[in-house]
Amino acid sequence: MPRTAKHSQADSSKADLEKSALAILSQAPLLPADSEDSALSLLLKQYLKPQDVALVREAYRFAFAAHDGVVRKTGEPYITHPVSVACILADLHMDVPTILAALLHDVVEDTAITAQEIKEKFGAQVAELVDGVTKLDKIEFQSASQAQAENFRKMLLAMSQDVRVILVKLADRLHNMQTLTAMKPESRKRIAKETLEIYAPIANRLGLNLIYQELEDLSFKALYPMRYRVLTQVIKAARGNRKEVISKILESIQNKLKEAGIEAEVTGREKHLYSIYKKMAGKTNSFSQIYDIYGFRVVVKDLPTCYLTLGALHGLFKPIPGKFKDYIAIPKANGYQSLHTTLFGPFGTPIEVQIRSIDMHNVANAGVAAHWLYKSSDAELTALQQQTHQWLQRLLEIQTESVDSLEFLEHIKVDLFPDEVYVFTPKGNILALPRGSTAVDFAYAVHTDVGNSCVAVKINQELAPLRTELKNGDHVEIITAALSKPNAAWLNYVKTGKARSHIRHYLKTMQSEESTHIGERMLNQALRAMHVEPSAVKEKQWDKLIRDYSVKNKQEILTDIGLGKRQSVMVAHQLLAIDEKQSADATEGVVSKLFGRIFGKSNKKPLNTITIRGSEGMSVQFAACCRPIPGDPILGFINKDKGLIIHTHDCPAIRKFSLDPEKWLDVEWDSDSKRLFKVNLKLVAENKPGMLAMIAAIIAEAGSNIDNVSMEESDNSVYTGLNFTVQVRDRVHLAELMRALRKVPNVVRINRAKGNSTANGTQQVSQ
C-alpha cells in the first residue's frame, strides 16, 4: 500500500508554516493517501473544498495505477514519492492544479501515459505544469552535462510562464534529498552538489526560506557527512551550555517590550547548519568565534512598530556600530524584509535580533508561495510578486540571447548569487545587483541599449573605469555614446547573467555578419580563380548546395567559409559541379600562386585577392607575432572558428603553421585604410632619469599612441631595453616615428620587433 503518515489535524493558523512537511511525513505510514485520515487528506481539508479534495483523490488513484508495481531504491512503493511531494506543497496551501501536478509529475516521464491523456482527464493547466517538470530523457544529447543543462533550461522557461512549475520541482527535489541515503555514494554527491548550486539558490531567490535551509542542510550532510556529524554534535553541546544565557536575554527582551507597551512574539532562533559551516569556512573562524549561532526574532503587528521595537532594544542593550541592516526600507531581491541589529548582550556576548511585522514574517517563510498560503492583497505581497515576475522576465531575456543550454545555465547560476549590493540610479531608484558587479552590469540592468552603448561611468559624481566594482550605496550614472559597441574585454569582469548574455549575443551577431561578408569575398576569389564570375552561379545551384549541406540558407554557408569551417575552393567546386580534371587544373593554379607568395618564388600579383581595410572587425584578426601594418606584404591564414588571421610575408611563425594551401589566401591592403594599427618596437637607451618621459613625448609628437610599454629587468648596466607597442597608420608613419626616435641622443638602437610574441601568434592561428 502507498506510504502515508498519521498525525493530528494541524491548526490552520499562519504559524503552522513553521512545521515542515518532513515532520509530518516522518511518522509511520499506515493509511492510503486517499483515506480520510491520511496526511495528505488532513492537510488538504484545512483549506480546500470537499469537491477539490475528491479531485485530488482521483489523481492519487490515477498515479497509483500508473506506478503500480514500481518500487523506489528505498524499497517503498513508488507512489510514496509523489504523495510526499504533494504533502510538502499542501503544507504551503498550494492550489488544486499544483497538488494534482505533484501527484502526476513522474507519470509522463516514467510510464506509458502521455501528456495528452493528463490534459483530457485533469485539464490543460495540470498538463502544462507536469510537462514543465518532466525531464527530456527521450532526446539524445552529446553529454550528461548538456542534457542536465537542457532540463534546467526547459524547467526555468516553464517557470517563467508559471512559477508553480518550480514549486513542484523544489518539493520534488526536497523529498529526493530526504531519501538520498538509498543512492550510491557517487550519485549522492552529484545530486547534492547540483542541489546546492541550483535548487537551493532558486528556493532562496523565491523566498522559500524553510525549503531553502533544508535543501542546504541535506546537501551539506550528503557532501560532507563527517563535518555535518561533528558540527551537529558541537551545536548540541553549545545549546546546553548557553541555555541559561539565552533564557536570561529572552526574558530581558520580553520585559523591555512590555514596559514600552509593545505587543510582540519573541522567539529564539538558531542558524541552520550549512549557514554556520559557510561562516566558519569563509572566514576561517572556529566554532567558538561564531557569535550569532543563536539569535532572537521579534514579530510585531505592523511596520511602524518595528522601528519602535528597534529603539526599545537599543535602549536595553548597546548596538554594535556597523552591524545594523534595514531590509524594510531596502528589501532583498526575494522580497525579504526585516530589521537586523547586533547588540552587546549580557556578559559581553553579541546577539543578533531580527525585527519584522506579521506580514513580513509570512513572506520571509513562504516567499512567493505566500500568495497561495495567505491569499493576501497586502502591498508587501504584491511587491514580491512584481519582483518575482521581473526576475522571471529576465530569465526569458537571457534565454533569447543564449545560444546553448550550458551557456544559459551559466548565466542562471550567476544570477542566483545570494549576496547583493544596492546602488542608486541618477533618479534615486534602487537596483539590487550580485556582489562584485561592475558599472557594465549596472548599465545592462538599467536597459540593454544603455549597456550596449556605455563608454564611461560616474560613481558618486566622479569618473571611474567601467570595470569598477560597485559598493552598497553608490550613486551610479552611465555615460553613453551613439556609436559605441560592446567590448569583448567586458566578459572578463561582468557578473550578471543579463550583461554576459547580451555581450556574447552582440559579439556573435557581429562576428556572424562580418564572417558572412569575408566568406563571400573568399568564395568569389575561388570562383574567379576557376575563371567563373560569381554572378554566373545560378539560384538552383545554390539551392542544391543548401540541401546537400543540410543548412538553412546561403548565408550560413558563407559564414562557415569566413570562420574557416568550410574551404572556399571546395565549396566552389561543389557549387559548379565541375569534373575532376577541371578541378585539379584549377586547384593546381591556385596552389602554385599561393606557394609562390608564401616562399617568395614569384612577385607577380594574383588576379584575385581579398582587400583588407583594417576595419572588418572580429572576422579579420592581425597576428600578434608580427603585427602587420598597411604597406607590409601580407598573407591570410584561415583558422577554424576564428576567421582570417593576417601575417606579414616574413613572419617567423609562418613556417611553423600548416602549409595546407587551402588555408592560405592572397590578401592586400586597401589604399584608403584610415585606422591605426599596433606595431612592436624595441629600443636600447641609456638608463637615466627622464628617459622614458622623453621617448613618450617624441612618440606623441609623431602622432602615435602608446598602447603598451615594458622595461627589461635592470642589471645595473648603463643601457636598458624598452619594449613599446605603438599605434601607427602605415609603414610610412612608422618610418617617420623611428627616424624621430633615432634623433634622441641617448637612444643607441631601435628596430621593429617581429617574432618575439610568436607564442601568442601561434595560439591565434593554430588548428
Region of residue 482 (phi > 0: left; psi between -120 and 50: alpha; otherwise: beta): alpha
Q: Which residues contact 716 (CB under 8 A, 6 or more apart)?
A: none
Annotated catalytic residue 730: no
Residue 717 backbone phi and psi in degrees, to 5:
-80, 160
Q: Which residues contact 38 (CB under 8 A, 6 or more apart)?
A: 4, 5, 31, 32
- Cβ proximity of 186 and 223 under 8 Å: no
The alpha carbon dihedral of 531, 533, 539, 544 has a sign of positive
Q: How many C-beta neighbours within 10 Å does residue 391 have?
A: 18
- Cβ proximity of 130 and 118 under 8 Å: yes
DSSP letters, 693-758, are: HHHHHHHHHTT-EEEEEEEPPP-S-SEEEEEEEEEESSHHHHHHHHHHHHTSTTEEEEEE--STTH
Q: Report the distance separating Cα 457 and Cα 450, nearest Å.
A: 11
- Cβ proximity of 249 and 297 under 8 Å: no
Q: How many C-beta neighbours within 10 Å does residue 71 have?
A: 11
Alpha helix segments (H runs only) across 327-378: 358-366, 370-374
Q: Report the distance separating Cα 657 and Cα 662, nearest Å.
A: 13
- Cβ proximity of 631 and 622 under 8 Å: no
Partners of 665 in the beta sheet? 636
**Given 16, 52, 58, 109, which residue is catalytic?**
109
246-255: long-range contacts, CB 8 A cutoff, minimum separation 24 = 246/294, 248/346, 249/296, 249/345, 249/346, 249/351, 250/296, 252/316, 252/346, 253/296, 253/298, 253/313, 253/316, 253/353
Task: Calculate the CA 550 to chain-centre distance.
Answer: 32
Annotated catalytic residue 110: yes
Task: Calculate the CA 587 to chain-centre distance.
Answer: 47
| Amino acid found at 472 | N
Q: Report the distance separating Cα 170 and Cα 172, nearest Å.
A: 5
Q: Which helix (H) or strand (E) holds 422?
A: strand 420-424
**Given 110, 326, 397, 668, which residue is catalytic?**
110
Which residues are tagged catalytic? 109-110
